[in-house]
Structure 1
């Protein structure tokens, strides 16, 4: 892959990531947006797209971003996008 193609792909993935975050969580903090614009690693952006799609809260996503490039586990209730609905249902039943 040529360098300009890779840069374009990274830019596209970054925009996709930001759009997923906005769709799921609304406005995102400018500091987080700036942090995401600093990312230049394709694999990290791909992983964060999966995290953004599965994290139940923006805070969980931010924690995962701060874990760095070595983090790769996206399992358990921590990454269940429906977790808040389950928690809300439990409260409603009580």
Structure 2
């Protein structure tokens, strides 16, 4: 199992992303924060948590994938694949 700070690099749509394991306690907190009031799971909250705690380089957010012309940000592809990779890494540490 991964230790706090363990990293993995994944290539998605030609971009290298560094994922970092936040530790088992933080992993559990992240999963708890993604639970909804009705006991479901929020994919939006999970993406936010992955952006903040797991995907460390390059730093990404919604604008990174959707683009934001006002900020001069061009949209990148690979959102679904990166989220899948980061979620798997968070849960398994691999």
Q: In which range does the TM-score fall when normalised by the shorter chain?
A: under 0.3
Greater RCO (Cα-Cα under 8 Å, separation 6 or more)? 2
- The structure where strand makes up a greater share of residues is 2
What's the TM-score, normalizing by structure 1? 0.26
